[in-house]
Amino acid sequence: MTYNLHKNTSENRFEFDLGDGSFAFITYKISAGIYLLLHTEVPEVPGGKGIAVELAEQTFSFLRNANQKTKIYCTFLLKYLGKHPEWNDIVYHSPEGE
């Protein structure tokens, strides 16, 4: 099943409506114009169906298309990014000395 990404600005999260009253989401904060991706959560019931991976890919695609940079603090997203270096162009790297 394919889900549509929604940027829920009132909750500061990118989310999928799973159609059963539950949501999968990535929480974020924006600091100095950079999206800080903090936490990924997928309800237990649909877990194991690749929802977190699809959520990561759609969120990264959204950020790339919006020409936005991100810092990753979520362990799931850090592991995902380690296996998918094609998204490294959207990761913000601090200048030396910052």
Q: CATH assignment of 6-90, given 3.40.50.1360, 3.40.630.30, 3.40.50.620, 3.40.47.10?
A: 3.40.630.30
pLDDT of residue 82: 95
Residue carrying structure tokens 């989401």: 25
31-86 pLDDT, tens digit per residue, is 999 999 999 999 886 566 799 999 999 999 999 999 999 999 999 999 999 999 99
8-39 pLDDT, tens digit per residue, is 999 999 999 998 899 999 999 999 999 999 99
Confidence of residue 94 (pLDDT cuts 50, 70, 90): confident
Distance CA 42, CA 87 (A): 21
Nearest to 14 by CA among 62, 49, 51, 48: 62
Which of the two residues, 53 and 96, has the higher pLDDT score? 53
